[in-house]
């Protein structure tokens, strides 16, 4: 039995995320976790809310709440939505946890002992209007690299270039909108990433199976311009992990906290400690410490491309620089962006579908199927209502749902609500079994490789194979001349329903549960032996005709939703 540690990029606490955020990290991570569990492997799947830094403070201020209260409330909101999308986290933690606080301070101490922390006096933007230093994300302006007008003071979301606030053209405060900014001197701690460059380059070069998107972004940061730069790991903020050395405040760092991008990835490890402390598991070290049994763990991270630099460089620099035997990521699966109907998702303009709104419209499986089958792997992809309607109606309703309905209703009308006896499998049935065996092995290969779109295409082809068999075998015609042979055909088709439920579970878990309940079985064993899997439901086994597995989306609904989520025009 293999052991899989899986983490999804942790979402910011500031509000509800849109569908692009979902498909860029949490949803494909859940797909992989569910698949590995289905294969009988041991899985620890972790995610958390990212609660420190500027986004949390700004959102809390806007909501008129203390930041700690706001974060606690939004964590519950995000956890409930994650549950609604059937994201199967073993634990959904919080980066503001005491566990993360202690672990972050521990790593800083280890890095300092290793000579990888230096104190820097630097000039930082100060807002005279706001009466405070402005951390990177409190400042926005025009990117000097690509001209994007809403670049942040730490990074441009458009071109992913790492920035400092002083690099921005026409910078302004995101608190007050004031442009009355000036540079003032302040002290901060820097992680000496430049000393780790060669070690990081060798590590990244060893990852020959990583997506090109991942390695190209990492190498760009390592080699563009002056190469990998040292990076500040503290900020002038009230909310965050205090900068401590042992039990005392780090000299000269009074009133400062660790930078959110230093403590946030450390939360992956802390989340496993929270998992244990919550009574959900034991021995977190066997997942994270190579001296405690983590040598045989396969660690996979899922994230959008904007998060790649911190996970391929800064977090590994922290892990490697500590000198301690922590588990490094084995595979980093990164995604491009999902755009919305000719543009971008926009919270401020109410443009696009956000996770809570999606669940108000349709159950999770509808969204899971479309998002995963259109995952932005090799390039950005785009959500359109026409495509969504077509995919749901053709793939889920016409192919999978229609098969289930035709088989169960025909059997009920001719043989009753139990698997019929009689007949034998002939050439058509053997041909189907051979095709399914080939396709299921291909499906497994794509899932192991985390090729999300190819996995969905192969799964759909497996559904189609059953429909084509049913159409060619035509048990409704066979029944007129050879009822026993029709019984064998329907027996195979009923077993296909159970097989489809098992194979489809990572994509559409609610449908899997509904189909298994209709087939009145709890046997969700993986079809390592396809012929045996197609005889799992023996003659006489009772079933019920399920409700409609997937309903079609009407043109009126599509038009109504298209208008509802179009957003405000400029």
Name the E strands within 286-358: 297-304, 331-335, 338-340
Q: Judge whether 71 is annotated as a binding position.
A: no
Q: Which residues have CB under 8 Å from 508's CB, separation 6+? A: 365, 368, 369, 396
CA distances to 406, 477, 502, 511 from 474, in Å: 11, 5, 25, 26
Strands 169-173 and 91-94: unpaired
Angle between helices 509-518 and 364-373 (to 10 degrees): 120
Query: Which is nearest to 298 in space by CA: 10, 92, 35?
Result: 35
What is the number of other CB atoms lying within 10 angstroms of the CB of residue 477? 10
Strands 132-133 and 117-127: antiparallel
Angle 69-73-75 from CA coordinates, rounded to 5°: 115
DSSP characters over 521-569: -------SSHHHHTTSS-TT-B--PPSPSSPPPPHHHHHHHHHHTS---
Distance separating alpha carbons of residues 389 and 394, to the nearest angstrom: 8
Query: Which is nearest to 268 in space by CA: 215, 338, 318?
Result: 318
Query: Which is nearest to 40 in space by CA: 513, 525, 452, 531?
Result: 525
Q: Judge whether 156 is annotated as a binding position.
A: yes
Reported as type and span, the H/E element at residue 120 is strand 117-127
Helix, strand or coil for residue 137? helix
CA distances to 102, 104, 189 from 53, in Å: 17, 14, 16
Q: Judge whether 347 is annotated as a binding position.
A: yes
Q: Which residues are documented as binding site for ATP? A: 347
Binding residues: 143, 146, 156, 159, 347
Binding residues for Zn(2+): 143, 146, 156, 159
């Amino acid at each position: 039995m293999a052991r899989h540690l899986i983490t999804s990029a942790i979402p910011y606490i500031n509000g509800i995320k849109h569908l692009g955020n979902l498909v860029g990290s949490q949803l494909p991570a859940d797909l992989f976790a569910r698949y590995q569990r289905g294969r009988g492997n041991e899985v620890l799947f972790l995610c958390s809310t990212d609660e420190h830094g500027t986004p949390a403070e700004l959102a809390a201020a806007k909501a008129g709440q203390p930041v700690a209260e706001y974060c606690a409330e939004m964590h519950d909101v995000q956890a409930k939505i994650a549950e609604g999308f059937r994201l199967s986290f073993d634990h959904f933690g919080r980066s503001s946890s005491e566990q993360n606080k202690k672990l972050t301070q521990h790593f800083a101490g280890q890095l300092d002992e290793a000579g990888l922390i230096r104190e820097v006096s630097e000039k930082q933007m100060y807002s005279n209007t706001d009466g405070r230093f402005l951390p990177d994300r409190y400042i926005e302006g025009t990117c000097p690299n690509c001209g994007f007008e809403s670049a942040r003071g730490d990074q441009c979301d458009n071109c992913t270039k790492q920035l400092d606030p002083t690099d921005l053209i026409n910078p302004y405060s995101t608190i007050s909108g004031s442009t009355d900014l000036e540079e003032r001197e302040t002290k901060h701690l820097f992680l000496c990433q430049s000393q780790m460059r060669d070690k990081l380059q060798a590590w990244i070069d060893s990852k020959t199976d990583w997506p090109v998107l991942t390695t190209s972004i990492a190498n760009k940061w390592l080699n563009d311009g002056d190469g990998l730069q040292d990076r500040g790991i503290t900020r002038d903020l009230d909310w965050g992990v205090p900068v401590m050395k042992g039990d005392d405040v780090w000299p000269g760092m009074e009133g400062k906290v660790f930078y959110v991008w230093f403590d946030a990835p450390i939360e992956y490890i802390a989340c496993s400690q929270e998992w244990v402390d919550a009574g959900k598991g034991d021995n977190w070290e066997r997942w994270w410490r190579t001296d405690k049994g983590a040598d045989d763990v396969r660690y996979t991270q899922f994230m959008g491309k904007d998060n790649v630099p911190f996970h391929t460089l800064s977090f590994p620099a922290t892990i490697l620089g500590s000198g301690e035997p922590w588990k490094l990521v084995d595979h980093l699966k990164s995604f491009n962006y999902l755009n919305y109907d000719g543009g971008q998702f926009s919270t401020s303009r109410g443009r696009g579908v956000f996770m809570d709104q999606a669940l108000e419209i349709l159950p999770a499986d509808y969204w899971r199927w479309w998002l995963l089958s259109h995952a932005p792997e090799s390039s950005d992809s785009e959500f359109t209502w026409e495509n969504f309607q077509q995919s749901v109606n053709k793939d889920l309703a016409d192919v999978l749902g229609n098969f289930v309905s035709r088989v169960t209703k025909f059997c009920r009308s001719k043989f009753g609500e139990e698997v019929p006896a009689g007949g034998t499998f002939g050439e058509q049935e053997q041909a189907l079994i051979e095709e399914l065996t080939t396709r299921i092995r291909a499906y497994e290969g794509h899932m192991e490789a985390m090729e999300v779109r190819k996995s969905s295409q192969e799964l759909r082809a497996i559904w189609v194979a059953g429909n084509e068999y049913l159409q060619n075998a035509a048990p409704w015609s066979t029944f007129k001349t050879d009822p026993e042979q029709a019984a064998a055909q329907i027996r195979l088709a009923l077993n296909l329903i159970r097989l489809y439920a098992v194979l489809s579970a990572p994509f559409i878990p609610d449908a899997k549960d509904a189909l298994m309940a209709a087939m009145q079985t709890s046997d969700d064993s993986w079809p390592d032996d396809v012929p045996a899997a197609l005889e799992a439901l023996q003659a006489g086994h009772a079933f019920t005709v399920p409700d409609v597995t997937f309903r079609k989306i009407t043109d009126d609904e599509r038009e109504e939703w298209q208008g509802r989520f179009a957003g405000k025009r400029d």
